[in-house]
């Protein structure tokens, strides 16, 4: 998902903080007065990720603030105009405490800018979304161990949609139910106090809509001194959604402003009714009716949709591309056809293209006589 629009919320010249930048900071020091924070020192980060192919340890940025007890103790009297973090919040044991700590080191009207993974594109495909009550229980002293236990027991070993080469069975049975090692691994959380540091579980599980509900309930309970500044959710295939919060102490003190914010969030929640969930239901029904399909498009959207169709129990006959645009013979082990090669006009086709290309392809399919076309994939 394109994060460039988030830069509009980062002030130039004022101190800003990025949490967990690793080797790819969003707030670069050549553009911003940027500082970096992590729970590990720079050397420890390099050691921890030394064997991770997704992290270039030679480009890990130096950490300014190592978080031991709290952010306020780590940064002292320093205040920031904006704080950015990406795919961090799900790893924080006390999510409410974390957000409140960030509010303490923000300037008035400062921004918390977050890229949060959508559970449907991560390890958390089969897990339930986080209810506010679980977060509040941990905030009041409850143990987060059961949440980490669920992450290890029911999380996928490979993110369902984030892996570009994932071609296996994506059913709950094959990925979770029959993996006996999962329970033994999850059980270590209770037996080895140091195990959780290396396990890096996802305590919190969200979709865009469920995070709005979480935020609304935190404001209802007079906990969060924030108002929602920006929300962007591109749906299932984006893998993440974006949130920008603005520090506003009036939200916790002024009943009228708090009510206004709650009503605004409720409206967003209603507008953000799970379109992806509805699409999945319709696609499931379509796949059940036709049994096997072709997918129009073999790029990013096509390969992602192929994984979803397999999860839904559908069979894929092949990918289709417009004549003259076939660059490879196979993608993910599935044959790629040019449209003119498909002689049977009764074959079911799922269109997995962006809106621009879809607008060009749908009339073409109609002109060629293809009638069993599913074109409700939102990308």
Average pLDDT over residues 341-357: 92
> How many domains would you assign to the chain?
1
CA 55 – CA 129 distance, rounded (Å): 28
Helices then strands, counting H and E runs in the chain, come out as: 14, 13
Phi, psi for 178 (deg, rounded to 5): -100, 10
Q: Averaged over 218-231, what is the pLDDT?
A: 97
**2 domain-assigned:** no
pLDDT at 1: 74
Query: Cα dist. 276→30, 139, 284, 352 in Å?
Result: 38, 31, 12, 14
Q: What is the mean pLDDT of residues 41-61?
A: 94
Name 189's Cβ contacts closer than 8 Å, sequence gap at least 6: 145, 148, 149, 152, 195, 196, 199, 201
Instruction: Please report whether residue 304 resides in a domain.
Output: yes
231 in any annotated domain: no
Residue 346 placed within a domain: yes
Q: Record the pTM.
A: 0.80
β-sheet with 373-374: strand ranges across: 330-331, 334-338, 315-321, 292-296, 349-351, 373-374
Reply yes or no on whether the pLDDT at 341 is more than 70. Answer: yes
Q: How many CA atoms lie within 13 Å of 327's alpha carbon, on the beta-carbon side?
A: 4
Q: Higher-confidence residue: 185 or 263?
A: 263
Residue 73, domain member (yes or no):
no
Domain extent for 294: 276-374
% of residues, the chain, pLDDT over 70? 90
Most confident of 115-119, 158-162, 189-193, 236-240: 115-119
Q: From start to end of 194-343, where are the E strands?
A: 226-233, 240-247, 292-296, 315-321, 330-331, 334-338
Residue 27's pLDDT is 97
- Looking up residue 307, the CATH number of its domain turns out to be 3.40.50.720
Would residue 83 count as lying in a domain?
A: no
Pick from 172, 205, 165: which is nearest to 304 by CA? Answer: 165
Q: Which of 147-151, 242-246, 288-292 has the highest mean pLDDT?
A: 242-246
Question: In the structure, what pLDDT confidence band is assigned to residue 178 with cuts at 50, 70 and 90?
Answer: low
Which of 37-46, 207-216, 271-280, 306-315 shows the lowest per-residue confidence on average (mean pLDDT)? Answer: 271-280
Task: Return the closest-CA partner of residue 10 out of 136, 93, 97, 113.
Answer: 113
> Distance (Å, rounded) from C-alpha 358 to C-alpha 373?
12
Compute the distance between CA of residue 165 and CA of residue 169 in angstroms, rounded to an integer: 12
DSSP string, 316-365: EEEEEE-TT----SEETTEEEEEGGG---TTS-EEE---HHHHHHHHHHH
Query: Is pLDDT of 288 > 70?
Result: yes
pLDDT digits (tens, 9 = 90+) for 128-172: 999 999 999 999 999 998 999 999 888 876 655 544 433 344 555
Q: Please name which of 342, 310, 314 lies closest in space to residue 326, comparing C-alpha atoms.
A: 342
pLDDT, position 318: 96
More confident residue, 12 or 178: 12
Whether 110 is in a domain gets the answer no
Q: Which residue has the higher pLDDT, 20 or 307?
A: 20
177 — pLDDT class (breaks 50, 70, 90) = low
The reply to whether 342 falls in a domain is yes
């Amino acid at each position: 998902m394109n994060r460039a629009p988030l830069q509009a919320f980062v002030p130039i010249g004022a101190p800003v903080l990025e949490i967990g930048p690793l080797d790819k900071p969003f707030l670069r020091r050549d553009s911003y007065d940027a500082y970096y924070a992590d729970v590990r020192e720079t050397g420890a980060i390099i050691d921890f990720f030394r064997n991770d192919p997704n992290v270039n340890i030679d480009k890990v940025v130096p950490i300014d603030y190592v978080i031991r007890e709290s952010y306020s103790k780590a940064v002292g009297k320093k205040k920031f105009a904006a704080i950015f973090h990406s795919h961090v919040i799900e790893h924080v044991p006390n999510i409410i405490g974390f957000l409140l700590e960030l509010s303490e080191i923000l300037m008035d009207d400062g921004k918390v800018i977050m890229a949060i993974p959508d559970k449907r594109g991560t390890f958390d495909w089969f897990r339930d979304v986080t209810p506010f009550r679980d977060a509040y229980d941990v905030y009041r002293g409850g143990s987060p161990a059961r949440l980490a236990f669920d992450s290890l027991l029911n999380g996928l070993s490979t993110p369902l949609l984030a892996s570009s080469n994932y071609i296996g069975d994506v059913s709950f049975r094959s990925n979770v139910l029959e993996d006996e090692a999962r329970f033994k691994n999850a059980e270590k959380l209770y037996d080895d106090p140091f195990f959780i540091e290396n396990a890096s579980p996802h305590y919190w599980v969200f979709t865009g809509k469920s995070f709005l509900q979480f935020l609304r309930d935190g404001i209802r309970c007079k906990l969060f001194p924030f108002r929602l500044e920006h929300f962007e959710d591109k749906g299932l295939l984006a893998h993440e959604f974006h949130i920008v919060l603005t520090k506003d102490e009036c939200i916790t003190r002024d009943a009228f402003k708090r009510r206004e914010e709650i009503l605004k969030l409720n409206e967003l929640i209603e507008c953000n009714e799970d379109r992806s969930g509805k699409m999945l239901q319709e696609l499931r029904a379509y796949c059940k009716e036709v049994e096997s399909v072709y997918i129009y498009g073999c790029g990013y959207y096509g390969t992602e949709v192929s994984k979803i169709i397999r999860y839904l129990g559908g069979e894929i006959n092949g990918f289709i591309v417009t004549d003259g645009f076939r660059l490879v013979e196979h993608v993910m082990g599935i044959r790629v056809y040019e449209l003119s090669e498909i002689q049977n006009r009764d074959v079911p086709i799922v269109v997995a293209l962006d809106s621009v290309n879809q607008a060009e392809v749908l009339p073409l399919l109609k002109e060629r006589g293809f009638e069993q076309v599913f074109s409700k994939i939102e990308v």
